A and B are shown apart, each in its own frame.
Chain A
Amino acid sequence: MYAVEVERLTKIYGKGETTVTAIADATLRVKPGELVAILGPSGSGKTTLLTSIGLINEPTHGRVIIDDTTVADEGWLPGLDLKRIRREKLGFIFQAHNLIPFLTAQENVMVALEINNLTRNNAKVRATELLNSLNLGHRLGSYPSVLSGGEAQRVAIARALANRPKVILADEPTAALDTENGKNVMNLLKKLAVENRSAILVVTHDHRMVEGFDRIFHVSDGRITNEKQRVEAGGTHGLG
């Protein structure tokens, strides 16, 4: 059983002669608890792949299955509540943390829980637990504007984890952080993948950040060109 299955996924932008194939024939499978990196240069199609898995970008062709639910098969399946699936099964982490500026750290986590119909008290308890576990107990009432980059990204991770999603999609989560904070965030994701049994897909262009990842997919010109097994410090085991 896989948390994410992508089969021959293709995304084409535009029509007629002005079409651009952002991703072509991409196939990948990620198990629960696996930490996977999608690595590639800017414009290679890695974010398009991530957003297609994240139910944001409708695939032109191919199939996407999230937690045993087929969501796309030559386009979105009709009658599917994409928002509900995003709410219940997916968690997102962004390059620029994307915390809501007028909510405190605690409220930023609570909002994801309340949107998913958790009562305010339960949401408060869960948000506090999560933020405490990420060493942000002292920042519950702080607004994003006063948090450091690393703290803000940890709050964003707490928000992504709030509804115990099956899949966490992270788009360049370390891009706005210095190396040390970036490594801390990646270590945190590794830990969470194991603890929560969530499949974590991280899009990044920074090779230094993928140490300890279970697998790496290299994307170039819209195609997955290479897949590597566990990445330990100092080397990788190539599969293709």
Chain B
Amino acid sequence: MNLALRDIRYHRGRFILTAIGLGLLIGVVISMGGIYRGLFADALAVFDSTKADIWVVQQETNGPFAENSRIPEDIKYRIQAVPGVAEASPLSFQTIQIERLGKPFRFFLIGYDPNGFGGPPEIIAGRNIRQKHYEMVVAEAMGKELGEKIHLGLNDYTVVGITGKVVSSGGDPAAYVSLADAQEIQFKKDNNAIRNDRERIAANLAGLQTLSPTQSKFLQQNITGITESTHTVNTIVARLAPGADLREVQERISRWNHFRPISAEEQTRILTKGMIEKARMQLGLFRLILLVISAVIISLIIYTSTIDKIKVIATLKLIGAQNRVIIGMILQQSLLMGVIAYAIGYVLILLTYEKFPRRIVLEAFDLQALFVIVIAICTISSFVGIRKALKVEPAEALGG
């Protein structure tokens, strides 16, 4: 006869409520693990989608995801000419905040060369960008429809395609435009601002005594070119030819002034170790604390339940029950509670994880590991109750 199941059957209301409470706690632990994995996935989403071997960025910076990096767009031709480089393409990144339904909405705008690479990794609806201007591909999470227009900078951009789950390292959904458009959104000023810039530069030039009249005249005539140049990007990504030596290519680019070639491996490290390390550690610590809380709660539940059964245990001992019968009753209840609570937590997160504001990635290994941890916690927690039960004297069954 399974005493654990009989006890649960009799006290099912109490057991179910306790399991639900514990299940919610385990659900939070599962979601924490999912957010932890989601942080990685988010941080690497744009990086992974480019499939680049080298990221050329501004010297002494850690690249466009970690800090500000500005390099001239035309450096891509030089990079393409390096032996071992198969292709190179410029990319620009900027976070944009717009108003949507009366609330601020942030997204990550990626400018890419439609003839190069680094664009949307997949198109799940509509098409990719075909024209040089005013077309846009947005991530699903932007919640935009095909054909919808978004006003950015000085112009409207039409959504022509929807891509999957591409987000910035901060979790903001991504949108793609052509590089030319991205540069225009980032650098193009309105007419008043342009006029102001021109006048300020002209005034500065007029005040420079070191310029000859010819030089001064030449510069005055070309102010437009100086003030309106938008050909700046954040990085040039490059893919290597088969068999090319990554180190050799990096060394060659390193010899140029003002640039730093970052390998994919280094970029991954910058993104995962540098940028999300603190968040990762915080989540890890939070998970640990929640597991400790779960362990304490399970121990308390099992201990209280054992205290409630002192007379039953004493009676069982008095009628000759072996220790294994009593240990089995406590251990099985503890394990059953753990398994049911885990199932409740798992189902809860499975049904809701897509509704979380940040990406939750549920990995089989994490779920299995947590299940093993929950079982271990239940087993260890039940020792408290078992220890108490084994100390109960049969004589305690006597008396009123």
Given contacts A47-B398, A102-B6, A176-B400, contact A87 B1 (CB under 8 A): no
Bitwise, B311-327 to A at CB < 8 A (1) or not (0) is: 11001111111100100
Contact B3 A111 (CB under 8 A): yes
Please report which residues of chain B, range 17-68, place their CB below 8 angstroms from some CB of chain A when the two chains form the complex.
Answer: none
- Hey, which chain B residues are within 8 Å of A116, CB to CB? 320
Greatest chain B CB density within 10 A among A103, A123, A159 is at A103
- A7 contacts the other chain (Cβ, under 8 Å)? no
Closest residue of chain B to A114 (Cβ to Cβ) is B1
> Considering the chains assembled together, what is the distance between the CA atoms of A100 and B1 in angstroms?
13
Contact A83:B312 (CB < 8 A) given known A95-B399, A102-B7: no
Q: Which residues of A contact B318 (CB under 8 A)?
A: 54, 56, 86, 92
Flag if A115 contacts B394 (CB, 8 Å).
no
Q: Please name all residues of chain A whose beta carbon is closer than 8 Å to the beta carbon of B312 when the two chains form the complex.
A: 100-102
Does A175 sit at the interface, judged by CB under 8 A? yes
Q: Bound complex: CA of A123 vs CA of B1, how far in Å? A: 10
Q: What residue in chain A is nearest B317 (Cβ atoms)?
A: A83
Tell whether A92 pairs with B319 under 8 Å between CB atoms, given A101-B312, A107-B6, A176-B400: yes
State the Cβ distance, A74 to closest chain B Cβ, in Å. 21
Q: Report B125 CB to chain A, min CB distance, Å.
A: 58
A143 touches B320 (CB 8 A): no
- B10 an interface residue at 8 Å Cβ cutoff? yes
| Residue interface mask A101-127, B partner, CB < 8 A = 1 | 111000100111011100010010000
The answer on a CB contact under 8 Å between A115 and B322 is yes
A115 with B397: in contact, given A98-B311, A101-B10 (CB under 8 Å)? Answer: no
A214 at the A/B interface (Cβ < 8 Å)? no
Chain B residues within an 8 Å CB radius of A76: none
Please judge, given known A-B contacts A101-B312, A115-B325, whether A159 and B10 are in contact too, CB under 8 Å: no
| Residues of A with C-beta under 8 A to B316 | 100, 111, 115
| A192 CB within 8 Å of chain B | no
Q: How far is the CB of A157 from chain B (nearest CB, A)?
A: 13
B10 near A87 with CB under 8 A, answer no
Neighbouring B residues of A56 by C-beta, 8 Å: 318, 393-395, 398
Bound Cα distance A56, B393 (Å): 8
A95 to B311, CA, bound (A): 13
Query: Does B247 sit within 8 A of A, measured CB to CB?
Result: no
Q: Do residues B1 and A110 form an inter-chain contact, with CB atoms below 8 A?
A: yes
Checking A95, A115, A176 against B321 with a beta-carbon cut-off of 8 angstroms, the contacting residue is A115
Please state if A100 and B315 are interface contacts (CB–CB under 8 Å): yes
For B7, B318, B319, which residue has the most chain A Cβ atoms within 10 angstroms? B319
* Known contacts A47-B398, A56-B394, A86 near B10 by CB under 8 Å: no
Given A83-B320, A116-B320 in contact, is the A102-B398 Cβ separation under 8 Å?
A: no
**B397–A98 CB distance below 8 A:** yes
In the complex where A110-B1, A115-B320 touch, is A103 in contact with B397 (Cβ < 8 A)? no
Q: Does A237 contact B (CB under 8 A)?
A: no
Supposing A102-B11, A103-B6 touch, asked if A88 and B395 sit within 8 A by C-beta, the answer is: no
Is B9 at the interface (CB under 8 A from chain A)?
yes
Q: Is A94 an interface residue (CB 8 A)?
A: yes
B393 CB contacts on chain A under 8 angstroms: 56
Are A86 and B398 neighbours in the complex by a CB distance under 8 Å?
no
- Which single residue of chain B is at the shortest CB-CB distance from A90? B320
User: Does A87 lie within 8 Å of B398, measured CB to CB?
Assistant: no
- Asked if B319 and A86 make an inter-chain contact with CB atoms under 8 angstroms apart, the answer reads yes
User: Once the chains are docked, how many angstroms separate the CA of A87 from the CA of B317?
Assistant: 9
CB distance from A169 to the nearest CB of B (A): 10
Query: What 0/1 pattern do residues 69 to 95 of A give for CB contact below 8 A with B?
Result: 000000000000001101110101011
- B320, A88: Cβ atoms closer than 8 Å: yes
B250 CB to closest chain A CB (Å) equals 71
The CA-CA distance from A171 to B397 in the complex, in Å, is 11
Assess whether A57 is interfacial by the CB under 8 Å rule.
Answer: yes
Check if B321 sits within 8 Å of A83, measured CB to CB.
yes
List B298-349 residues whose CB lies under 8 Å from chain A: 311-312, 315-322, 325
A100-B6 Cα distance, complex, nearest whole Å: 10
Q: Tell me the residues in window 130-153 of chain B with beta carbons closer than 8 Å to chain A beta carbons.
A: none
Determine whether A220 belongs to the interface, using a CB cutoff of 8 Å to chain B. no
A51 interface hit (Cβ, 8 Å): yes
Query: Complex: how many Å from CA A176 to CA B399?
Result: 11
Closest residue of chain A to B308, judged by CB?
A101
CB within 8 Å for A94 and B397 given contacts A56-B318, A120-B1: yes
Complex A-B: 27 CB contacts under 8 Å: A47-B398, A47-B399, A51-B395, A54-B318, A56-B318, A56-B394, A56-B398, A84-B320, A86-B318, A86-B319, A90-B320, A92-B319, A92-B397, A94-B315, A95-B399, A96-B400, A98-B311, A98-B315, A102-B10, A102-B312, A103-B6, A103-B10, A110-B1, A115-B316, A115-B325, A116-B320, A171-B398
Point out residues on A near B: beta carbons under 8 Å.
47, 51, 54, 56-57, 83-84, 86-88, 90, 92, 94-96, 98, 100-103, 107, 110-112, 114-116, 120, 123, 143, 159, 171, 175-176
